[in-house]
Structure 1
Amino acid sequence: MNGLATQANPPATPGRGVHGDFTVWAPEARRVRVRVGGVDHPMERDARGRWHATVDGAGPGSDYAYLLDEGERPLPDPRSLRQPRGVHSASRVYDHDEFVWADGHWTGRPLAGGVVYELHVGTFTPEGTLTAAVDRIDHLVELGVTHVELMPLNAFDGTHGWGYDGVLWSAVHEPYGGPDALKGFVDTCHRHGIAVLLDVVYNHLGPSGAYLPRFGPYFSGENAWGPSLNLDGPHSDPVRALVIEGALDWLRHYHLDGLRLDAVHALRDDRAVPILAELSAEVDALAAGLGRPLSLIAESDRNDPRTVLPREAGGMGMTAQWSDDLHHALHIALTGEKHGYYADFAGPRVLADVLRRVFLHDGGPSSFRGRRHGAPVDTHLIPGHRFLGYLSTHDQIGNRARGDRMGEHLSPGLLTCGAAIVFCSPYTPMIFMGEEWGATTPWPFFASFTDPDLVEGVRTGRRREFAALGWDEEEIPDPMDPATRDAAVLDWSEVDREAGRLILDTYRSLIALRRAEPELSDPRLDRFRVDADREGRRLVLTRGSLRVVCNLSEEQTVVELDAAPRELLLANGYPRIDGAALDVPGEFFAIVRV
C-alpha cells in the first residue's frame, strides 16, 4: 500500500464490525441486539444512547443487523457500508483497508479553472455499472474534463433510479458494483488526471427502506420531500455527526475530491454555526491533512451569495454552487420556451444581465414564487468560478414530462453557440453526460421500487402531475417501466453521426481553447463585459483581448466590435471580417483576438 493510501485510510470507523465491535445509536430503545451470522447478541447502552457489543469471530464479510426492543424485525445498520442484498436486508461488514490503491501520485485538482462532467452511472453505459463506466474514461480524457461529478451512489430500493431516493447514506449501491467498484473508478480517474466528485443527499430519505427514524430522532418537521433532518433540536448532535462523519468518510476512504450537496435549502438549521459551515471547516481540515484540495459544491434555491462566501466573511464556506438562473436564461434564449419558471427569464436582455451578475432573482420579484427572492452577488468580491454554469443538468432534463434534451430540438449551430457562452464565461462549466455530442436519448424520471403500492403511487402521481400541466398522458413515460430506464441509456453510436461529431469536436476545441487561453477562464466577474443588441440575440463577451461573438438568431447579421480582430481562434462557421465588423451567419459563434 502506497504512502497516500496509508494517509487516506486510517482505521475504519469503530462500531461497524471490522474487528468484531458493533455500535449503534438508539437513545429511545429499551433493548438492542445485533444479529451476526443468524445469532443474536445483546448490546449494552452507554450514557449517550449508544449500544455496544463485541462479537467474537465477526469481521469483514460478516452479515449483521440490529433488533430494537421486542419483536422488531432485523434492520440494516444506519451507517452501513455495504448492502449486498438490498436496503431491506442485513448489512455486511466491509474493511476499507483491504483495497490496494494505485493513486499515490495524485495531488488533486482545484475546482477553479476546471470543467465538470455530471454522470449518472446507471445510464452512462448499457451495463449501468461503475466498472463499465471505467471503459469510457478515455472519452472524458479526450473531451478535456477535469472533474467527474457522479450522481448519488448511496443505496436505494430497487436496481435502477436517479439515486435521490437513497436510504443508507454510506453504502455504495450494490447494482452499481459496491464499494470496491467505486474505489476502482476513482483510482482509474486519478490515474488519468481526473478528479471525482460525488453527489450526496442529506435533506431527505427515499420512500422505501427508510429505517433510519426507527433508531432515533433523526428527523423533525417537514420539507418539500417529507420529514426534515433534525439538525438543531434535542438529540441533534448525533444526527449532525452522522452527516459530517459520513461526508468525511466518502472523501477519506474513497479518495474522492469533493462532494455535491443536494438541495441544501431544505436543511433546516437554526444553530449559531450552520451545518454547512461546520462541514466546510471539517473538510478544509481534512484537505490540509491529505495535502490535496477538496471541494464542496452546493445546490441551493436561495440565491444567497453567503453560500459561497468564506466562513471568516460570514459565509458558509462552500467552494461553489449551481446557478440555475444562468441555465434558465440560456435555455429560454436558445429554445424560446416561456412556461413555468422560465417566464421570468423571457426578457430580451435577461441573458446578458444574468451573465454579468450571476442571479436574475437577486432581491427582486419572482413570479413563480410569488415574492421577492435572492440577494445580489458582489462581483468585485466573489469570483465567477464559485458558480457552475451549464446548458443541461439531470434536473432540468429529467423533470420534463418526456425527459427530452435540447439535442432533440436545436440545431448543432445553436447547441454550439450555447456551449461557447458557457465555456467562455467566468463560471465553472458543467456538462451533463451526452450533451457534448447533442445526445437525443431522453432522460426522464425512473425508479424500480419493489413495493407494489409504492410502484402504483409513483406511476399515478407522475402522470397526474404532468397531466395537470397540459401533457397528454400517452406522452408521459411510465417511471416504473424498466423500458423507461433502458431508453435513457446513452446511445454512444450518436457520436459517430455527422451532427454528433461536429458538436463533440466543438466541445473539445472549446475546452482546449479555454485551457490554452487563460483570459477565457479568468473568474473575475468585475472584468467580464457582455454587450447585447436590443433583442438580446446577438452578444459579445469581452474576455481581456478576446471577443466571443454569438448570433443566436437565424438571420445573417453584422456585429461591430470595439477593435479589428487580429486572429480568429475558433468558430462554428465562416465569418467575413471587414475592419472591426464581422459579417456572420445565423446560429453562429466566433472567438477572436483583437
Structure 2
Amino acid sequence: MEQNAHVGHRRIDDTAYEFTVWAPKPKSVELELLDSTPRRLPMDAIGRGLYRLRVDDVKAGNRYQFVLNGDIRRPDPVSHFQSESVHGPSTVVDHDAFRWTDHGYTPPPFGALVIYELHVGTFTPEGTFAAAMLKIDYLVELGVSAVEIMPVAAFPGERNWGYDGVFPYSVHQAYGGPDALKAFVDACHSRGMAVIMDVVYNHLGPEGNYLRDFGPYFTNHYHTPWGDALNFDGAGSDGVRNFFLQNALHWLGLYHIDGLRLDAVHAIYDQQPIHILQELAQVVSSYGKACGFSPYLIAESNLNDPRLTSPLDTHGLGMDATWSDDFHHSVHTLLTGERNGYYMDFGSIDHLGTAVRDGFSYQGEYAPSRDHAVGAPCRESPATAFVNSIQTHDQVGNRIGGERLAGLVGFESLKLAAGLLLVTPCIPMLFMGEEFGEDHPFHYFVSHTDDRLIEAVRKGRAREFKSFKWKGTPIDPQAESTFIDSKLDWSKTCTGNHAILLEFYKRLLQLRRALSTLSWPQKNGLEVTALRGKNVLAVVRQNELASTLGLFNFSTQEQIIDAASLSPTSNAIKILDSADPVWSGPSAQAPNIIADGITLPSRSMVLYHGEKK
C-alpha cells in the first residue's frame, strides 16, 4: 500500500462525500448511513484491503458506520468525530467549512520554543478548548511560545489523560470537537504561538478499540505496558503504517497543528529497514517543504539514544528533540531527597551537571534501577535535541498522591528549579500551573464503562507504585473527584507567593528572550561546573558579545562561591537573585557586582551578566 493512500471520509463537492476504509479482514464491507435517508450500501473493493464508495447526498453532521460481513456494525477506524461515544457511529465532518484566519502565520523556529504542556480537561474549570482560548493572552504574557496539548483522540467516557484513545483521528467530544480545536489553534496562531499535539503511536486504549475487526493492526511479537503493540513490521503492516502516517498529516493539514509530540517511542517496535519513525520524519518533512515550514517532531523515550534525534541522512531517526528525563530526575532528587524507583539512579550534583552540559546524565553507564547500562554518548548532539522540564504530566501524575513539585518542596526550591530550567540551553517545557506554584495534585484519571477494566486499572496502578515504596492507598482513577481535584486553581495567580512565583517566571522568560547569551539554545559557549562539596552548579553561557553566569545552590546550607574564576568577564552585574526580598526571599546576600566570594543562601540562585569589552 502506498504511504499516501487516503482512508476515511472527505468531501468531493457540495453534495458528495467519498468514504474509504482499509479492511483486509472481513469478506465484505457495507456503508450504513443513519441520517437523512437511512440505508446500507455495498462498498467497492479496490485492492490491498481497501474499500471505497462515493455517496451524493451526505451532509456534515450525518452519522454513519461500516457493516462487516453483513452483521457486524463498527465505527470508522478513521472517524473524525465520535459525537456520541467511542461505541457509537461516526459523524461526517466538513473540514472546508471552518474559516481560518491564520494565513501568513509562520511557527517560531524550533530553537526559540518555550513549551507549555496542558491537559484540556483540567486546564480550566470548564475543561474545553473554548475555555482554554481565554487563557491564550495569559500564556503569551507569561512568555511561552508553544502549547503542547496532551492527547485529544476520542476515548471512553468524559475524562481521561488521553493515552487510552481509540480513535486517533477524532477530537474528543467533551473538549468541543473538531471546530473547537481549530478555533483554539487559530487563536494561538493569531498571537504568534505554536501548537504541538501529543499523539500516541505505540498502542491504543482497550475500551472501544474495534480495529481488530478490520485488519492486523496489532501483533503478538511485541508487548507494551499499556496494551498490545502495533503491527509496524509484520504481515499486513503496510496498512497499519499508512494509518499512522496519514494521522500525522491529518493533524498538520486539517488542524494546522505545528508539530507532534510522540508518546513513548521506545514502545514502538519495528524491524523494517526503514523504521516507522524514519518514515514519519520523511513524510512530515515532505509535507513541511510543500507548505513552506518545518513541523516539529518531539519524541519521548527512556533509552537515552542520540540516534533518535540524528538527521535522516546520517541514518538517524530524524526527530527534532527528545524529552530528557535525566534532567528532571536530577533536579527532583536533589530537591526532594527521594531515591526510590528510578530515582535511585540520580542524586548527585554531577548527574545534574552532565545533564545540563550534554543532555543526558546516563550515556552508557550502569543504571542501578534497570540493572544494565543505559544510553550512548550525546555530547555532540545539539542543545535543541533535548526538551527539559522540572514537572510533566508523567512525573506528577504517576506518583501515588499526584503531588506537584510545589507539594513536595518549599518556595525557595521552586525558584531555584525554575531558574536552572530557564537559564540552561536546552528547550524548556513548563507543566500547566507550575509557573504559579499550583499545589493541587494532578492525578491519573479515567472514566471507563467496563467494570472489569476499571478494576484492572486500579490494580495496575497499585503495582506501578510498589518500587517507589510510597505510603498510602492509591487514589481511585475512576472516581470523578480524582479528575475534579486535578483542575488548576486559577485564583492562586493573584495571591501571596503564587503571584510572586508567577512574576519570577515572567522575569526569567524575559531575560531568556532579551539576552543574546540565553536567547538561542546552543552548547557553544556553555561551561558547566559541578561544585561537589558545596552542591552548587555553576553555568556559564557566553558568546562573542557577552557572558552570563548562573549559580544554583542545591544545598540546604549557605555556600560561599569564588565566582570570579568562573566568569569570563569581570564587569558582570547581578540581574536576578531568587533570595532578594522582592521575590519573597530571605535576603539578597550576593553582591551586585561579581566578586571573589559570593554568598548563596540555601536553595537559591543568582544570575550575573556582563558585556565583553
Which category describes the TM-score, using the shorter chain as reference length? over 0.9
The question of 1:22 aligning with 2:19 is answered yes
Task: Give the match for residue 609 of structure 2.
Answer: 593
Structure 1 residue 552 displacement after superposition: 2.0
The question of 1:368 aligning with 2:374 is answered no
Aligned equivalents of 2:358 and 2:54: distance in 1?
58
173-182 or 531-540: which moved more?
Answer: 531-540
What letter is aligned with 1:284?
Answer: S
Distance change (3 Å), C-alpha of 1:284 and 1:461: closer
- Residue aligned with 1:40, SS: strand
Structure 1 residue 14 displacement after superposition: 6.3
1:545-556 superposed matches below 5 A? 545-556=547-558
Distance change (3 Å), C-alpha of 1:15 and 1:514: closer
Aligned equivalents of 2:467 and 2:608: distance in 1?
48
Indicate if the aligned counterparts of 2:116 and 2:146 stay in contact, CA closer than 8 A: yes
Task: Give the match for residue 493 of structure 2.
Answer: 495
Aligned equivalents of 1:369 and 1:377: distance in 2?
20
**Gap regions ≥5 residues in structure 2:** 581-587
Structure 1 residue 55 displacement after superposition: 2.8
Task: Give the match for residue 117 of structure 2.
Answer: 118
Aligned equivalents of 1:85 and 1:220: distance in 2?
30
Instruction: Say which of 566, 569, 576 aligns to 2:575.
Output: 569
Aligned equivalents of 1:92 and 1:208: distance in 2?
19
219-228 or 61-70: which moved more?
Answer: 219-228
Task: Give the match for residue 414 of structure 1.
Answer: 413
Aligned equivalents of 1:97 and 1:479: distance in 2?
38
Indicate if the aligned counterparts of 2:590 and 2:606 stay in contact, CA closer than 8 A: no
Structure 1 residue 383 displacement after superposition: 1.2
The question of 1:297 aligning with 2:313 is answered no
1:428-447 superposed matches below 5 A? 428-447=427-446
**Gap regions ≥5 residues in structure 1:** 1-11
Return the TM-score normalized by structure 1: 0.94
Structure 1 residue 79 displacement after superposition: 0.6
Aligned equivalents of 2:561 and 2:388: distance in 1?
25
What letter is aligned with 2:147?
Answer: V
Task: Give the match for residue 54 of structure 1.
Answer: 54
Structure 1 residue 15 displacement after superposition: 4.6
The question of 1:582 aligning with 2:583 is answered no
Aligned equivalents of 1:532 and 1:17: distance in 2?
57
- Residue aligned with 2:540, SS: strand
What letter is aligned with 1:40?
Answer: R
What letter is aligned with 2:421?
Answer: V
Indicate if the aligned counterparts of 1:397 and 1:403 stay in contact, CA closer than 8 A: yes
Task: Give the match for residue 8 of structure 1.
Answer: none
- Residue aligned with 2:282, SS: helix
Structure 1 residue 57 displacement after superposition: 1.2
What letter is aligned with 1:309?
Answer: S
The question of 1:220 aligning with 2:219 is answered yes
Aligned equivalents of 1:264 and 1:192: distance in 2?
31
What is the CA deviation profile of residues 417-445 of structure 1, one whole-angstrom value per residue up to 9, with x for unaligned ones? 11111111110000000000111010111
Task: Give the match for residue 535 of structure 2.
Answer: 537
Aligned equivalents of 1:200 and 1:465: distance in 2?
23
Return the TM-score normalized by structure 2: 0.91
106-115 or 252-261: which moved more?
Answer: 106-115
Structure 1 residue 13 displacement after superposition: 5.4
What is the CA deviation profile of residues 433-476 of structure 1, one whole-angstrom value per residue up to 9, with x for unaligned ones? 00001110101111011122222322343345436754455x42
Task: Give the match for residue 330 of structure 1.
Answer: 331
Task: Give the match for residue 479 of structure 1.
Answer: 477
The question of 1:161 aligning with 2:160 is answered yes
Indicate if the aligned counterparts of 1:24 and 1:77 stay in contact, CA closer than 8 A: yes
Distance change (3 Å), C-alpha of 1:106 and 1:271: same
Give the aligned CA root-mean-square deviation in angstroms. 1.7
Determine what percentage of the aligned residue pairs are the same residue.
42
- Residue aligned with 2:242, SS: helix
Distance change (3 Å), C-alpha of 1:14 and 1:240: closer
Task: Give the match for residue 106 of structure 2.
Answer: 107
Aligned equivalents of 2:334 and 2:107: distance in 1?
36
The question of 1:129 aligning with 2:125 is answered no
Task: Give the match for residue 45 of structure 2.
Answer: 45
Indicate if the aligned counterparts of 2:147 and 2:196 stay in contact, CA closer than 8 A: yes
Residue-pair matches, total:
579
Indicate if the aligned counterparts of 2:561 and 2:599 stay in contact, CA closer than 8 A: yes
What letter is aligned with 2:143?
Answer: G
Indicate if the aligned counterparts of 2:206 and 2:227 stay in contact, CA closer than 8 A: no
What letter is aligned with 1:144?
Answer: G
Aligned equivalents of 1:64 and 1:398: distance in 2?
37
Structure 1 residue 241 displacement after superposition: 0.8
Structure 1 residue 526 displacement after superposition: 4.7
What letter is aligned with 1:366?
Answer: A
Structure 1 residue 129 displacement after superposition: 0.5
What letter is aligned with 1:47?
Answer: G
Distance change (3 Å), C-alpha of 1:399 and 1:174: same
Task: Give the match for residue 507 of structure 2.
Answer: 509
